[in-house]
């Protein structure tokens, strides 16, 4: 069961398990739920320059760092490659932004020297929230978070953007 739900490299939920858990959170229309999409900036460059073993080290380190910023009730999933999602139930928009900002700063503070190389790490974030009684489904909220992530990337990366 563990291997069917968890990404083997990062130990975050895999895409299917994360989606199932997040969809469950969206079934309660009497609670606010937010999705945060996170994408490592210039990750291909890390793999190309330092090798895939270093890229794997980065992904594991980033997941450990992000998990340390979350509550037990929050879920982190690897959607694929260097893209991750966080489901945050029962947070205000300001609280979600603060969590994403803490994650962004914690990633930028990762000491990469244990990987054998010294380089900068940054990530971009997109946030969307379904308010209490709101009509947005999991899929619509995910699409909105993806649009916000796209804006973060387009506006220079290493930033948090909230969908409005």
- How far apart, in whole angstroms, are the C-alpha atoms of residue 67 and residue 94? 19
Q: Is 95 a catalytic residue?
A: no
Q: Which of 82, 83, 139, 155 is catalytic?
A: 82
Q: Which residues contact 4 (CB under 8 A, 6 or more apart)?
A: 14, 17
* Host H or E run for residue 71: none
- How far apart, in whole angstroms, are the C-alpha atoms of residue 142 and residue 48? 29
- How far apart, in whole angstroms, are the C-alpha atoms of residue 99 and residue 30? 22
- How far apart, in whole angstroms, are the C-alpha atoms of residue 163 and residue 138? 14
Helix intervals (H) in 7-137: 15-26, 43-50, 52-67, 93-108
Which residues form the catalytic set? 82
């Amino acid at each position: 069961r563990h291997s069917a739900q968890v990404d083997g490299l990062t130990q975050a939920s895999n895409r299917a398990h994360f989606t199932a858990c997040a969809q469950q959170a969206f079934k309660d229309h009497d609670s606010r739920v937010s999705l945060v999409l996170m994408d490592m900036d210039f990750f291909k460059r890390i793999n190309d320059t330092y090798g895939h073993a270093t890229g794997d080290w980065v992904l594991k380190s980033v997941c450990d760092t992000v998990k340390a910023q979350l509550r037990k009730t929050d879920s982190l999933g690897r959607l694929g490659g260097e893209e991750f999602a966080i489901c945050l139930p029962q947070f205000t928009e300001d609280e979600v932004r603060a969590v994403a900002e803490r994650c962004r700063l914690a990633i930028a503070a990762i000491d990469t020297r244990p990987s054998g190389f010294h380089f900068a790490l940054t990530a971009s974030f997109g946030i969307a929230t379904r308010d209490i009684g709101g009509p947005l489904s999991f899929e619509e909220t995910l699409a909105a978070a993806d649009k916000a992530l796209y804006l973060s990337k387009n506006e220079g990366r290493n930033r948090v953007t909230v969908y409005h």
